[in-house]
Amino acid sequence: MFWRIWILNALLQWGLLALILRKSSWRPHLAFVIYIAFCSCKTSLLMGVDLFARPLYVSVNWGSRLIGLPLMIAVLVEVFAAVFRPYSTLPRGTVRWFSITFVSLVLLTTVASVCFPGSAPGDWMNTILVLNRSASLIFCGAFGFTALFSSYFGIPWQQRTYGIGVGFLLFMSVDLFTSSLGATYGVAVFGALRTVSMLAYTLALITWVTYFAKPDVSSRPPTLEQMRRLQKALDYSAKKVESFRGTN
């Protein structure tokens, strides 16, 4: 079962990469294409290591995860650059409040790592699991933000930028669940749930293939009503922050 899913994911990754290159769709999504190319090579390498050099599998797997982390950050930056591209049409202070939200997510991951350090805090594998859990929490929050509010920034759900964000949200939310269990109860639990993580990644790959197989949809400026709703939400957050400051 595991190998079937693994082979399917490898085929989907290489197929998605070929689809993007054939359609010349890589320029607006360069970071995402580099990430998919890296994942395609990583999956093929891990399959070979698992067959011919199994004792090295764990080290190669976690080493590749650490290398893939900055690539995922680059994709996140690319997605938000597309979301905020028409920033001149957005309510004043939107970018500032997004920055505050993102910093809050970083602080939340730090608190989570301190409160739930895992069953073996001194072990390097457990440290990587905690780091993976923290990264998953950040990405879930960030990509969840784009999925919920992208229409307010002129990104319709049919656009590829939206599809990239939704795909990451699908498998990163499951990865957050599995890495949290692994960091808390040990690496063995994480290994037992890897099939679930791979199935979530399969769903993300299918989402990306679907979005890149059809023509892309251009961005459109947010409507006045959407801007008013977003401004109302930002004003509500500002009032809450000010009231919190007043009580302290």
Residue 71 pLDDT > 60, yes or no?
A: yes
The pLDDT of residue 121 is 46
Say how many residues make up the chain.
248
Is this model's pTM higher than 0.85 or not?
A: no
Quote the CA–CA distance of 208 and 213 in Å, as a whole number: 8
Tens-digit pLDDT profile for residues 178-196? 777 766 666 666 666 778 8
Instruction: Decide: 92 and 77 in contact? Cβ < 8 Å.
Output: no
- CA triple 192-108-230, angle to 5 deg: 115
Q: How many CB atoms lie within 10 A of CB 206?
A: 15
Alpha-carbon dihedral 77, 83, 84, 87, rounded to 10 degrees: 170
- All residues at 6 or more sequence positions from 232 whose CB lies less than 8 Å from its CB, including other chains: none
Reported as a pLDDT band with limits 50, 70 and 90, residue 133 is low
- All residues at 6 or more sequence positions from 36 whose CB lies less than 8 Å from its CB, including other chains: 13, 16, 17, 20, 208
Instruction: Choose between 131 and 94: higher pLDDT.
Output: 131
Q: How many CB atoms lie within 10 A of CB 245?
A: 8
User: Where are the domains positioned within the chain?
Assistant: 2-247
Tens-digit pLDDT profile for residues 205-226? 999 999 999 888 776 666 666 6
Please compute Rg for the chain using Cα positions: 20
Instruction: Decide: 201 and 171 in contact? Cβ < 8 Å.
Output: yes
